[in-house]
Amino acid sequence: MKKLIKQTLIVLILFLANYATNAQVYNWEKLDSFNHVGRIYTGLENGVIYGLHYGKIINAKKTILIPFLDLSLPLGDRVIDDYKVKLGTSLKLLQTKKWILSGGVSILNQSYQNPFAKMQNVGLETALQFGLYKQKWFLNLSISNDYLFATYIKHSEAYKKSYDGAISGWYQNTANNIFLGLNLGYSFKKLDITLSPGIIKTDGFKSSPTLPFYGKLGINYKI
């Protein structure tokens, strides 16, 4: 039984590394006169993904807050079975002239299904970005970390036939993914075009997933 549980958790961690997530991308110098921001994006993270994002821009006295909802999906046939939803807040932390430090935190829920099991994950993402922001363009360095607290595993009938002792249920999990990268953007009046390349590390910088890099292309629209 212990061997079976250990094997299941190892498979789980490998699958989780394939569906990680990273921070949102805004031009903080272009948000003062807007109330909402929408985003569509696509990219590569151990497979092709695409997503939709909505944020409510709140201009406080000394900062800007953006509570947001984000949905991303892998490119494929099982749209309902595989998804990731994030609910969180991004905010401007510090600004010195055109240099800005921003951060964010969000809770995440993601589902992944394969021939062996369906997995439902619950976790937390934190992020920091620091860079130079202009009216027409911006560039920053970004680091983000997602930590998955627990996973509900529902084994498939095919898996149960192979392993009679397989038990569906909640499993504690310490998988995490660290993203190190750049965010580049060019801004028009209401549009931002963004590019986000970087690398992925797992298990506290000790290892990397099979595809150790990522890249995203996005468009922000502000109203």
Tell me the C-alpha distance between 43 and 51, whole Å: 9
pLDDT of residue 81: 64
**DSSP state at residue 114:** -
Averages of pLDDT over runs of 10 residues in the chain (223 residues) are: 51 43 83 96 86 96 94 74 90 96 95 85 94 98 92 86 83 82 97 96 83 94 97
Domain count of the chain?
Answer: 1
- pTM here is 0.84
Question: At which residue do the structure tokens 């590019």 appear?
Answer: 195
pLDDT for 13 equals 45
Range of the domain at 25: 2-222
Distance from C-alpha of 187 to C-alpha of 194, rounded to nearest angstrom: 9
Distance CA 119, CA 218 (A): 28
Helix (H, G, I), strand (E, B) or coil at 144: strand
Q: Phi and psi of 26, rounded to 5°?
A: -135, 155
- Cα–Cα distance, 87 to 44 (Å, whole number): 22
C-alpha dihedral over 154, 157, 160, 162, to 10 degrees? -140
Task: Look up the CATH number of the domain holding residue 144.
Answer: 2.40.128
* CA distances for 33 relative to 130, 188, 208, angstroms: 22, 14, 41
Q: What is the pLDDT of residue 138?
A: 98
What's the pLDDT score for residue 98?
96
Residue 4 has φ and ψ, to the nearest 5°, of -65, -45
